[in-house]
Structure 1
Amino acid sequence: MNPTEPLKKKGGRPPSQTKRDQQMTVCLTKLEKLAIQRRAQKAGLNLSDYGRQMVLTGKAQVRLSAEENATLNQVAKLGNNLNQLAHKANADGIRSIAFEAQRLLRQLSDLLDKPAAP
């Protein structure tokens, strides 16, 4: 490598400081293993993560579905818009943002009132 060439930075997620190098074996029947695999899949976790969470805390942190994630992102965007309106209201007066604020609040209400998927 030429000393005048810039060093290329490695991209991606940095390696974890905590290495999981210890193993624990559990004996199960085929039916028990299948039941645990289904629960892990339903929680959106791989078998190792699901088992670790269940052993350490007694419950598994279920991942959000794609629909729940999309709704959460929409709520965050609306919150950002409301924050921008609050700044404008402070600068220009409350009357300058009245209609836009009502529209955004109606949108937020519709999102929050949407029935949850079973």
Structure 2
Amino acid sequence: MNPSEPVKKKGGRPPSVTKRDQQITVCLTKIEKLALSKRAEKAGLNLSDYGRQMVLTGKAQARLSAQENETLNQVARLGSNLNQIAHKANADGIRSIAIEANRLLHQLSQLLNKSAEG
């Protein structure tokens, strides 16, 4: 390796294509800033992200809660299992997977009912 060549970084998050290098300043009272901070916290966002979303779209997309993330992960795992069952059904015939498919559909139904109630 030549000492004049730049050292490449390994791993980590790739740099963003869109660089946010422009600023605007907004003057608020302490109460207004506190109210804005509380709304950002409730949405699970930092103040900059919350303000940017509100200015650009008029609404802030709240982050998913830990329980919502867990439910989505469980649904994704069930989907993966269902995909494996579909491959087996194509290879071995549909009757070979009927019991397993019913079990997975029951689990999926329970998950969706639990998330709709909570």
TM-score higher than 0.5 here? yes
Residue pairs, 1:4-83, within 5 angstroms = 9-83=9-83
TM-score, length basis structure 2: 0.88
Unaligned runs of 5+ in 1: none
Percent identical pairs in the alignment equals 81
Q: CA RMSD in A?
A: 1.9
Report the AA paired with residue 112 of structure 1: L
Cα shift at 1:58: 0.4
Matched residues, number: 115
* 1:43-88 Cα distance to aligned partner (Å, 9 max, x none): 1110001000100000111111111000000000001101111111
What is the alpha-carbon distance in structure 1 between the residues aligned to residue 32 and residue 117 of structure 2? Answer: 28
Cα shift at 1:30: 1.1
Unaligned runs of 5+ in 2: none
What is the alpha-carbon distance in structure 1 between the residues aligned to residue 60 and residue 117 of structure 2? Answer: 20
TM-score, length basis structure 1: 0.88
What is the alpha-carbon distance in structure 1 between the residues aligned to residue 102 and residue 17 of structure 2? Answer: 48
Q: Which stretches of structure 1, 4 residues or longer, exceed 4 Å deviation after superposition?
A: 115-118
Cα shift at 1:109: 0.3
Change (3 A) 1:59 1:102: same
What is the alpha-carbon distance in structure 2 between the residues aligned to residue 42 and residue 57 of structure 1? Answer: 18
Q: Is 1:107 paired with 2:110?
A: no
Q: Pick which of 83-92 and 14-23 moved more.
A: 14-23
